[in-house]
Amino acid sequence: MALVACPTASIGTVSRLDARAGVGAFPEPIVEGVHFCGFTAEASFGAWSYLVVRPERDGGNVLVDSPRFSTPLVRQIERLGGVSLMVLSHRDDIADHVKFAAHFDCRRVMHEADGAVRLGVEQVVTGRDPVGLDGELLCVPTPGHTRGHQVFLYRNKVLFTGDHLAWSPRRETLVAFREVCWDSWAEQTRSMEKLLAYEFEWVLPGHGRIHHAPPDVMREHLRRCVVSMKSNPL
């Protein structure tokens, strides 16, 4: 699985059979229809992407950020019902979004401040107000890491955080990555504080560790993160 997921194909194998063993493992289930796609892309700096599998009556499947366009992955996604919507958190993690959009004929969502119009994205988010994409999925603009960064809240339970927020095993709390804040740390701090208004129990990042905890515990971790960010302004 590590070999298949590696964005630079840097892992060697003893035989072809070893390489094939991990191909069918992705998308890998995480929780309630949410899967990790594997097949990370060098163009997205190895960022993680996710597939939400749900009935057509609820809006169909959602691809969160773009993995590498690889035939084994595409076939598995087809078996799971394809892709109806692709949501892009920010410009760093779009990888093969054009190929996925063309193959599955799906609508893409991205913020205008990260070049959505130039990239030909079908639904362009503007401003900083949350946008309900359907009855289960909310887009929340969170500028800071990039000017047009946004996160996605699914069923008030799963927060797809892109490069905005992740779990730190060393610090045992949620953290933001100050060293890779490309636009504004002050803006990212304000965006982080805005997320305190939402309830969620899973953080699924593009980079960093996944974490699960009850909503009240997750909110406390987020509050600590905000305090830490405010105490260390750029």
Other CB atoms within a 10 A radius of the CB of residue 195 amount to 22
Are 84 and 56 within 8 A, CB to CB?
Answer: yes
Which tokens hold the place of 65? 């950020």
Q: What are the tens digits of pLDDT across the range 27-40? A: 999 999 999 999 99
pTM beyond 0.85? yes
Is residue 184 scored above 60 in pLDDT? yes
* pLDDT of amino acid 16: 60
Band (pLDDT 50/70/90 cuts) for residue 189 is very high
Is residue 175 scored above 90 in pLDDT? yes
Owning domain of residue 151:
2-231
β-partners of residue 62 are: 52, 85
Q: What are the tens digits of pLDDT across the range 190-210? A: 999 999 999 999 999 999 999
Q: How many domains does the chain have?
A: 1
For residues 41-55, average pLDDT: 95
Q: Which CATH number does the domain housing residue 184 bear?
A: 3.60.15.10
Is residue 14 scored above 70 in pLDDT? no
Which candidate, 109, 191, 195, places its Cα nearest to that of 144? 191
Q: What are the tens digits of pLDDT across the range 79-103? A: 999 999 999 999 999 999 999 999 9
Which candidate, 45, 133, 63, places its Cα nearest to that of 100? 63
> What is the chain's mean pLDDT, rounded?
93
